[in-house]
């Protein structure tokens, strides 16, 4: 009996000891919030000195009043600023960030980073080396949103947020809201990396710039930068961008202005789906077949011609189909002109016609320029809102 009691005591002691050990193991690498400089936004710019890069971090100011690296207060109004921006320059990202340990009282922590804004000069020079650290770091996330700034990326992080607490938050929200227009792509770090390592497909990245409205700086997201071989080679405007997004099956919303019998109307895209299929003609010519199906509705109209009348709806749909085809055609011609397969057509061809792909893969750039497109657009009406006549006196 005594032996059994001793055995029970020893077993209990072992259980307690193991509980303590495993309990400690669960938090051995835990870092307290007040020991971290938590990064929410990043800008990467080409430095003045050749071969060097400047990285700017937007850091949450936990419990303090945000200031710039020079110590001047950031923001205005009654809402206290809750961030600070700090920059450092060097030859590669890892050393730049590690050198920040000499000027910050807290360790840089990038696990909560939301955006990376690349300055245009650096984008045109090449981004592969600058993004290597962020792709490689175990702390970094691959769902970070990527932008190219007209001018310096750091300037975007210096703008005063309008409705959010930090410029990086403001930028993310703006990107999400503009989805209603489909005039800028939504690209993550993972998306860009796929393009950077692809042998055929080029990447697109949304463009952000500062737009002055009534003497106030506003962040605007529209259009896209085209990357080839790791470098920005061209820019697409917002209509060309949406044309590309049609082909990539990334248009879900948007609006078109059409003219029917002298009446201008806004037609809203409410649902859309696109398919791309390569075909090879008997003469060996490669053709890209683009099929678009969409549901649209009448947003508003300026004029007396009743576009809600069932007898007039087909004409409105016809004009809308024509507008969509034109947008896709213009975008396709543009990417051919700059010789950038942002559609991923090379991958489609490889999957559907592997033998043909083997014949053209070594000179895909030359082949892509000669590809023709057949564009088919079919749309259906999906309601006209709460009224079925224009706000004009009825005729007759």
Measure Cα distances from 302 to 148, 298, 396 in Å. Answer: 37, 11, 20
The alpha carbons of the chain give a radius of gyration, in whole angstroms, of: 27
- Determine the topology of domain 238-396 in CATH: GMP Synthetase; Chain A, domain 3 (3.30.300)
pLDDT tens digits, 217-266: 899 999 999 999 999 999 999 999 999 999 999 998 999 899 998 899 99
Structural domain boundaries in the chain: 32-236, 238-396
Using CA of residue 60, residue 61, residue 66, residue 68, what is the dihedral sign?
Answer: negative
pLDDT tens digits, 41-97: 999 999 999 999 999 999 988 755 554 543 334 444 444 568 999 999 999 999 999
pLDDT score at 40: 96
Q: Is the pLDDT of residue 214 over 90?
A: no
83's CB contacts (< 8 A; 6+ apart) are 40, 58, 59, 60, 61, 66, 74, 165, 166, 167, 168
Helix (H) or strand (E) holding 70: none
pLDDT score at 174: 96
Can you tell me the mean pLDDT for 16-41?
66
pLDDT tens digits, 99-124: 998 888 889 999 999 999 999 999 99
pLDDT tens digits, 290-342: 999 999 999 998 888 888 888 888 999 999 999 999 999 999 999 999 999 99
pLDDT score at 216: 86
The answer to whether residues 218 and 212 touch, using CB atoms and an 8 Å cutoff, is: yes
């Amino acid at each position: 009996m005594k032996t059994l009691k001793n055995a029970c005591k020893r077993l209990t002691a072992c259980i307690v000891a193991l509980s303590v050990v495993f309990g400690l193991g669960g938090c051995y690498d835990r870092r307290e919030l007040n020991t971290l400089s938590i990064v929410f936004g990043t800008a990467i710019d080409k430095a003045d000195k050749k071969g060097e890069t400047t990285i700017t971090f937007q850091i949450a100011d936990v419990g303090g009043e945000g200031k710039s690296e020079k110590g001047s207060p950031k923001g205005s109004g009654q809402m206290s600023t809750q961030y600070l921006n700090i920059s450092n320059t060097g030859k590669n990202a890892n050393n730049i960030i590690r050198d920040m340990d000499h000027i910050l009282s807290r360790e840089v922590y990038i696990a909560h980073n939301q955006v990376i804004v690349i300055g245009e000069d650096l984008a045109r020079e090449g981004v592969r080396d600058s993004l290597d650290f962020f792709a490689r770091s175990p702390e970094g996330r691959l769902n970070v949103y990527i932008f190219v700034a007209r001018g310096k990326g750091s300037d975007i992080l210096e703008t005063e947020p309008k409705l959010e607490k930090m410029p990086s938050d403001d930028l993310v929200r703006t990107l999400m809201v503009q989805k209603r227009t489909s005039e800028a792509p939504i690209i993550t770090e993972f998306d860009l990396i796929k393009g950077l390592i692809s042998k055929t497909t080029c990447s697109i990245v949304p463009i952000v710039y500062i737009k002055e409205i009534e003497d106030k700086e506003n962040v605007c997201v529209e259009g896209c930068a085209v990357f080839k071989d790791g470098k920005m080679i061209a820019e697409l405007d917002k209509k060309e961008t949406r044309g590309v997004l049609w082909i990539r099956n990334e248009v879900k919303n948007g609006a078109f202005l059409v003219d029917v019998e002298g009446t201008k109307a806004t037609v809203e895209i409410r649902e859309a789906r696109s398919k791309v299929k390569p075909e090879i003609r008997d003469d060996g010519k490669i053709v890209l077949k683009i099929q678009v199906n969409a549901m649209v509705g009448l947003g508003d109209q300026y004029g007396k011609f009743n576009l809600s009348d069932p007898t007039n709806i087909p004409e409105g749909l016809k004009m809308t189909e024509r507008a969509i085809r034109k947008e896709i055609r213009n975008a396709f011609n543009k990417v051919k002109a700059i010789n950038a397969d942002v559609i991923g057509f090379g991958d489609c061809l490889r999957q559907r016609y592997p033998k043909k792909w083997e014949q053209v893969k070594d000179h895909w750039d030359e082949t892509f320029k000669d590809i023709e497109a057949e564009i088919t657009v079919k749309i259906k009406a999906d309601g006209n809102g709460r009224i079925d006549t224009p706000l004009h006196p009825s005729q007759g």
